[in-house]
């Protein structure tokens, strides 16, 4: 019984660490939301994503209940998730696209990633990411369909960065990804299974399988680009992968 209690306590702690990193919710605990602790909690990333997606779906449902049409309801759902996460992955997407688009060498690309300013490439990437997600959600036109797709997208997307961390090393000796280190393989596998389950449940078997296949193709593609551009991955690259994955899942869901 004590072992079960210890296991439940560790699992709860991992989820709180993941929530502390992926959201701005003030959840007090005695573990860090970074470094090795974050690597050990990587299995819980899809659960944290599912909670974020559920909050966005709740915002959509409330907007729908007061009579707003799908387009503004979908916009409010996105606003809810952006407020909840602080635009964490959107920041990574903008920095990565700016760096890969404007940098001439690996060194300059890494320097651009650390520049807080957003350039043309990053701005365009954010417009496309938000616009595609907004359009896809609005096309679903129903609280239940939006809930399934939104939860699936956020859960599956957060299962992707730990997989990339196993495939390529950090591009720099410091930073978020480097301090997290190599996440335990069993934790990454658990995250992948949770992400797959979210896809199959949230999108249905057919669309869920299609989304899983497309995500599986995105992973080596982004791995190849990151290796070519900076020789590895960074926290920004991981954020960009999460954003691409969200877009992919929601576009598949919009197929009907």
Give CA–CA dist 141/103, Å, rounded: 41
9: pLDDT confidence band, cut at 50, 70 and 90?
confident
The full length of the chain comes to 256
pLDDT at site 29: 67
36: pLDDT confidence band, cut at 50, 70 and 90?
confident
205: pLDDT confidence band, cut at 50, 70 and 90?
very high
pLDDT at site 1: 36
Residue 231 region, left (φ>0) first, then alpha (ψ -120 to 50), else beta?
left
The yes-or-no verdict on residue 2 having pLDDT over 50 is no
Instruction: Name which of 24-33, 65-74, 165-174 the model is least confident about.
Output: 24-33
Note the pTM of the prediction, 2 decimals. 0.94
Query: Per-residue pLDDT averaged across 34-46, rounded?
Result: 86
List C-alpha distances in Å: 32 to 14, 17, 105, 194: 10, 7, 34, 23
Give CA–CA dist 234/191, Å, rounded: 19
pLDDT tens digit sequence for 71-95: 999 999 999 999 999 999 999 999 9
* Average pLDDT in the chain: 93
Give CA–CA dist 72/63, Å, rounded: 8
Query: Per-residue pLDDT averaged across 172-178, rounded?
Result: 80
Helices (H), ranges, 103-204: 106-113, 120-140, 143-167, 176-180, 185-203
Query: Per-residue pLDDT averaged across 157-179, rounded?
Result: 90
pLDDT at site 38: 82
Query: Per-residue pLDDT averaged across 147-176, rounded?
Result: 94
pLDDT at site 229: 97
pLDDT at site 4: 52
The yes-or-no verdict on residue 133 having pLDDT over 90 is yes
Query: Per-residue pLDDT averaged across 185-195, rounded?
Result: 97
pLDDT at site 30: 65
């Amino acid at each position: 019984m004590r072992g079960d209690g210890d296991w439940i306590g560790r699992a709860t702690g991992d989820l709180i660490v993941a929530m502390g990193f992926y959201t701005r919710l003030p959840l007090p605990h005695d573990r860090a939301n970074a470094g090795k602790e974050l690597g050990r909690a990587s299995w819980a990333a899809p659960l944290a994503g599912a909670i974020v997606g559920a909050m966005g779906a709740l915002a959509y449902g409330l907007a729908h209940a007061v009579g707003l049409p799908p387009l503004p309801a979908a916009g409010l759902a996105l606003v809810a998730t952006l407020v909840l996460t602080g635009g964490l992955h959107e920041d990574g997407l903008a920095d990565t696209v700016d760096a890969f688009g404007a940098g001439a060498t690996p060194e300059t690309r890494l320097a651009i990633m650390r520049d807080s300013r957003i350039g043309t490439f990053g701005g365009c990437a954010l417009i496309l990411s938000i616009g595609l997600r907004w359009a896809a959600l609005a096309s679903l036109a129903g609280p239940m369909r939006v809930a399934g797709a939104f939860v699936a997208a956020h859960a599956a997307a957060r299962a992707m960065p730990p997989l990339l961390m196993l495939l390529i090393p950090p591009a720099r000796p410091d930073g978020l990804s480097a301090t997290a280190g190599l996440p335990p393989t069993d934790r990454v596998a658990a995250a992948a299974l949770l992400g797959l389950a979210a896809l199959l449940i949230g999108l249905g078997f057919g669309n869920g399988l299609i989304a899983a296949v497309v995500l599986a193709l995105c992973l080596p593609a982004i791995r190849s680009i990151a290796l070519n551009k900076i020789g590895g991955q960074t926290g920004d690259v991981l954020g960009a992968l999460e954003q691409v994955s969200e877009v992919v899942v929601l576009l598949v869901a919009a197929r009907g």
